[in-house]
Amino acid sequence: MSFIIAIDGPAGSGKGTVTKLIAKKLGLVNIDTGAAYRSVALESINQNIKLEEEDKIINMLDNINIEFKNEHGKDLIYLNGEDVTDKIRQKDVSKIVSPISAIKEVRFKLNDIFRKIAKNQDVIMEGRDIGTYVFPNASLKIYLDASPEERAKRRYIQNQKKGIQMSYEEIVENIKTRDKIDMQKEIGALKKAEDAIYIDSTNLTIEEVVEKIVKKANEIKN
Ligand code: DC
């Protein structure tokens, strides 16, 4: 079996940043599963499909092509041949991605893609249900958490750097709403796997979190 690190946790817990760094340190393929859910949300916007039109969203899945690529050391996501790495972070996508990801057909389709990717290569995969549902036998499972306020602060800074205009209050609201939907999903709800290591990153630096996880991974590997 491939070596698989599963990193789950809520929005803004630092998963993205630490996953990238760990991937580099350990030479693993880095898969951001949230980016795939965001791509489905973006495609529904591109096709003018409303959230209530679940049938149309499900039909759309037959013709959707999502690819993860690494070009010049940068992780990119392609939707139907187009690089959408930046587009999927926009506000309109963030607003609808949670309900889109609650549609079970969307989850089945994307989980198939994730499992295929991990078949022949060692990966670190971040998401909400990687350790509980997608890879219940992952080599190492981490549940990364932080307080909602700290997570909103991090997202705010991240957005500023990317030129995304969203107030701090708007982000806190968005994060709390998403937490609620993500934790109450019928399938793939955000929760800690019983055998996952819980890390609260509220008062830890990125380096400290990375160090903890790399140490664990090396213990398992060696
Ligand atoms: O990590 P993120 O904020 O980019 O994720 C976007 C949304 O996708 C988030 O609201 C929850 C959902 N998601 C999911 O349901 N399951 C995953 N494995 C990853 C993300």
Residue 23, number of CB atoms within 10 A of its CB: 21
pLDDT tens readout for residues 118-169: 998 999 999 999 999 999 999 999 999 999 999 999 989 988 988 888 899 9
pLDDT tens readout for residues 127-136: 999 999 999 9
- Residue type at 29 in one-letter notation: V
Strand partners, 96: none
Who contacts 80 (Cβ-Cβ below 8 Å, separation ≥6)?
A: 43, 63, 64, 65
pLDDT tens readout for residues 169-214: 999 998 898 898 889 888 888 999 999 999 999 999 999 999 999 9
Q: Is 173 helix (H, G, I), strand (E, B) or coil?
A: helix
pLDDT tens readout for residues 51-103: 999 999 999 999 999 999 989 888 999 999 999 999 999 989 988 998 999 99
Q: How many angstroms separate the alpha carbon of residue 94 from the centre of ligand 1?
A: 10
Flag whether the pTM goes above 0.85: yes
Give the atom of ligand 1 at the shortest distance from the alpha carbon of 8. 18
Q: Is the CB of 99 under 6 A from ligand 1?
A: no
Task: Tell which one of 4, 44, 128, 175 to mutate to probe ligand 1, the residue whose CB is within 8 A of the most ligand atoms.
Answer: 128
Give the atom of ligand 1 at the shortest distance from the alpha carbon of 134. 18
Q: Alpha helices, DSSP H only, in 47-90? A: 54-60
Could you say which DSSP state residue 207 is in? H
Burial of 148 (0-12, 13-18, 19+ CB in 10 A): middle
pLDDT tens readout for residues 14-57: 999 999 999 999 999 999 999 999 999 999 999 999 999 999 99
Q: Of 186, 119, 136, 153, which is closest to residue 8 (Cα–Cα)?
A: 136
- d(Cα 57, Cα 47) in Å, to the nearest integer? 9
